[in-house]
Amino acid sequence: MTDQDKLLDGNRTAAAIRADVAAEVATLRGAGITPRLDVVLAGDDPASRVYVGSKAKACGELGIESHTHELPAAVTQRELEVLVDQLNADREVDGILVQLPLPAGRDSHAVLDRIDPAKDVDGFHPHNVGLLQQGRPGLVPCTPAGVMELLRREGIEVAGRRVVVVGRSDIVGKPMAMMLLHAHATVTICHSRTRDLAAVARQAEILVAAAGRLALIGADHVAEGAVVVDVGVHRVEDRATVERLFPGNAKKLGTFESRGAVLAGDVDFTAVAPRASRITPVPGGVGPLTIAMLMANTVRAARRRRGV
Ligand code: NAP
């Protein structure tokens, strides 16, 4: 197998998911229903602005109506909660997404907990977290749902296999582990207190890295033939690190020259790829799946709310 054949191509899977969603939206629109996503963007975090722009663009491409509610960094907790209440009450709104992080000092749990669970397309509301825990249908977090979809569509068997998830956040690690468990994997969750991470990770037939630490996972963390999924995203802005992570990789260096940075993951791709049977690249791996699953969740919410 060449390195190219090993790649778990997130762009390809995201395009397939989007095509399915677009077809569903077309059917719904034919029946007079236009799914609608409302995004709350508070403050002026540049990365958040880019993410929200990508979400709105994806909605437009798939026929989903989208509205972005921009609020100043000085927005009060009360104002945020009033807006969520209004969106909850608006019968035309199918999905509500509050872009994180909120401006400093705002209580994001209080805001997220206020979202109607039926419109909670991020799947962060405790009601939906509980449904996921129990394996009951609900709205589930987009990034781990995207990883499950990638594994499924690439024909990677999960049932009965040993899976290690590195990271235990509420957004990625924990829901990822729960979804894998429901898919009948034997799951180990690692975190910053895990002793001898490499030894635990080497047990994995499927290794999911979601630690938010650049190149944490090296060759000694990966068993020969493992499937490696890299959720981490890091902007690398220093040349020496780019040269260390991607030695002799003219393409990466070219990107660095033209853009002043390259993206890299939690996995040291150069070191790990030769050992892995399949591996996601960064960029072009898990990243594109998150927005695709957000679109899928919005349509799901629309169907469930409207009983179609
Ligand atoms: P997070 O909230 O910072 O959580 C990181 C987790 O990794 C924590 O549970 C932490 O353990 C664990 N960890 C940190 N250092 C570790 C180490 N040395 N060994 C073992 N575990 C370690 O991050 P997150 O929100 O889950 O995101 C993780 C990564 O995914 C980030 O790079 C983020 O940018 C990326 N991400 C990508 C997408 C996408 O669409 N592609 C979406 C979401 C997130 P403790 O709990 O003990 O602190």
* Spatial separation of the C-alpha atoms in residues 164 and 216, rounded to whole Å: 14
Helices (H), 154-283: 173-182, 197-201, 239-245, 250-259, 269-272
pLDDT on residue 76: 98
Whether 195 shows a pLDDT value over 70: the answer reads: yes
Mutation test residue for ligand 1: of 231, 236, 289, 294, the one with most atoms within 8 Å of CB: 231
* Spatial separation of the C-alpha atoms in residues 111 and 123, rounded to whole Å: 14
Place of tokens 């206020």: 114
Whether 4 shows a pLDDT value over 90: the answer reads: no
pLDDT on residue 2: 66
- Confidence category of residue 1, pLDDT binned at 50, 70, 90: low
* Phi, psi angle pair for 229, to nearest 5°: -115, 120
User: Which residue, by CA, sits nearest to atom 3 of ligand 1?
Assistant: 212
- Cβ(175) – ligand 1 distance below 6 Å: no
pTM: predicted TM-score of the whole model, two decimal places: 0.97
Per-residue pLDDT tens digits for 143-153? 999 999 999 99
Per-residue pLDDT tens digits for 204-237? 999 999 999 999 999 999 999 999 999 999 999 9
- Cβ(279) – ligand 1 distance below 6 Å: no
- Cβ(264) – ligand 1 distance below 6 Å: no
- Cβ(13) – ligand 1 distance below 6 Å: no
How is the beta sheet containing 65-71 ordered, strand by strand?
Answer: 65-71, 36-42, 95-98
Average pLDDT over residues 61-85: 98
Catalytic residue among 38, 55, 174, 268: 55
Q: Which helix (H) or strand (E) holds 166?
A: strand 162-166
Average pLDDT over residues 188-192: 99
Per-residue pLDDT tens digits for 97-133? 999 999 999 999 999 999 999 999 999 999 999 999 9
- Cβ(121) – ligand 1 distance below 6 Å: no
251 catalytic residue (yes or no): no
Six token digits for residue 182: 């429901």
Mean pLDDT over the full length of the chain: 97
% residues pLDDT > 90 (the chain): 98
55 catalytic residue (yes or no): yes
- Cβ(294) – ligand 1 distance below 6 Å: no
- Domains of the chain are 33-121 (3.40.50.10860), 142-289 (3.40.50.720)
72 and 80 Cβ atoms separated by less than 8 Å:
no
Ligand 1 atom nearest the C-alpha of 146 is 40
Can you give the length of the chain in residues?
308
What is the Å distance from ligand 1's center to 172 Cα?
7
Per-residue pLDDT tens digits for 31-55? 999 999 999 999 999 999 999 999 9
* Spatial separation of the C-alpha atoms in residues 198 and 206, rounded to whole Å: 14
Whether 5 shows a pLDDT value over 90: the answer reads: no
Place of tokens 């095509």: 19
Residue type for 257, please? Answer: E
